[in-house]
Amino acid sequence: MSVLRLHGVSVAWAASAPIFESVSLTLDGGFYGLVGANGAGKTTLLSILAGQRAPHEGTVVLTPKNAVVAYCRQEVEGRDEDIDALAARDDGVAAELRGRLSLDPGELDRWATLSPGERKRWQIGAALAREPDVLLLDEPTNHLDVDARKRLLGALRRFTGLGVVVSHDRAVLDALTTATLRIHRNTVTLWPGRFSDAKALWEQAQAEQYAAHAAAQDRVRAAEAQLDAARRTQAAASKGASTRARMKNRHDSDARGILATTKAQWAASKAGRVASAARTELDRAQRDVPTVERDPTLGGKIFATFERAPSPILFHVGEDVVLRGEHPVLYDVRITIGREDRVRIEGPNGAGKTTLLEALVASYARRERMLYLPQELSDAAKAEALARLHGLKPEERGRVLSIFAALGSEPERVLRAQAAHLSPGEARKLVLAEALAGQVWALVMDEPTNHMDLPSVERLEAALEGYPGAVVLVTHDDTFAAHVTTRSLRVEHGTVF
């Protein structure tokens, strides 16, 4: 059995920007889920485990040294030799994988037109065909429809080596994993159990932190009240001592006056000591308040000034044939979408969902008042988004960054990031934040939750529920779609219905 050992592993983009620090772990079999906020370093850690990136500090040791490691990245671009080998092989392992994942070698002749989901199945099938000892998967269910996800899970359950999987799909994590690695606050913690069980454990720990913080704040308030009372007593005693020193009744004897003055001074001195002790207690209570992280939220006023599109119809496609490149994909398409419609486009991989989205986008002239978010953002698109952010006026930039934070990422990080260091999830949230801040009339999104961590998916869901414009999306996430759309269009066998 293969074992991965990490000792003192640290990675940082700069001295002031650590990704994670002093990570020491032993991974020794079965599937581990790897979760964390976008930009936390999940893909970076996978590449280190794969031996494709060296940590800035520490060591990673794979035992045995000749163990076969297969690493499936998030994006699938060109077909590689492993994919060609899986298509050409006629042995039992290859034939079984092609059957389980519904892979047709004839598809490779049209690789350029295969959907991202179809390419993803070939990528993972080729990795499994190598019969690896270590399997590293970065968002393996991105772009996959329901049937393809079921097929993939069936194939992965048969894997008996050491696996690490990054996924925003809770069902996949719960179905495959027996332990969970969480990147949080610049460290990596190994939690027992599948994702749902591990999440319950760290949420319980967080709840205990919140309770400790609340109790500490109560102690601060009690100490503040005690100090306030002590100061009032001290002020009254000091005033009494001062008045006694200035006033003396003509009937008082010297001895009696001196005694009364002395008592007043003693009272003032005692009150001063009590106030000093109360000040010390307040300082101690304030020092003992633990630091807790609270998630930013999307303010309810963000769409208060939203002005709906002047035309009740935003998109209309009326085409006998819709092409993708030179290939006909859809026939007799007649679709109209209004300014407040919320539409999900569904169907199997390769049916033409993205083609339909692109036809809808092409039908709308006011592109500056619409966001089209494709399945993947290129490095050039990331760089352009960052350039637009830095070119905004301070007030506008602050608005975008507040929404970016509410979607679950750090504004400070994106401000200092270069496009190459911006994670796919961060890039998607930045583009979405820009569109929401600009109050576009329509959001057209192809798998908007791709590359997002689970908390970010929930935050995006909440933001879109409150968005008053048109929403048109393709998503494989049924729960997400149920929250943000109200009707659906199905694409299958060249038709839209």
Q: Where are the domains of the chain?
A: 3-185, 210-287, 313-496
Which DSSP symbol is given to 168?
S
Q: What pLDDT is attached to residue 3?
A: 96
Neighbours of 392 (CB within 10 A): 16
Q: What pLDDT is attached to residue 16?
A: 63
Class of domain 3-185: alpha beta
pTM of the model: 0.71
Instruction: Report the C-alpha gap between 245 and 298 in whole angstroms.
Output: 62
Q: What pLDDT is attached to residue 452?
A: 86
Ranges of residues in the chain with a pLDDT under 70 are 15-16, 240-261, 264, 294-301
| Phi-psi label, residue 46: left if phi above 0, alpha if psi -120 to 50, beta otherwise | alpha
CATH fold match for the domains 3-185 and 313-496: yes
Q: What pLDDT is attached to residue 295?
A: 60
Share of the chain above pLDDT 90, in %: 63
Which DSSP symbol is given to 368?
G
Residue 481 host element (H or E)? helix 478-484
Superfamily of domain 313-496: P-loop containing nucleotide triphosphate hydrolases (3.40.50.300)
Instruction: Report the C-alpha gap between 322 and 345 in whole angstroms.
Output: 16
Q: What pLDDT is attached to residue 148?
A: 87
Q: With b meaning 16 or more CB within 10 Å and e meaning fewer, what string describes 54-79?
A: ebeebebebeeeebebbbbbbebeeb
Contact at 8 Å (CB) between 357 and 345?
yes
Instruction: Report the C-alpha gap between 74 and 86 in whole angstroms.
Output: 20
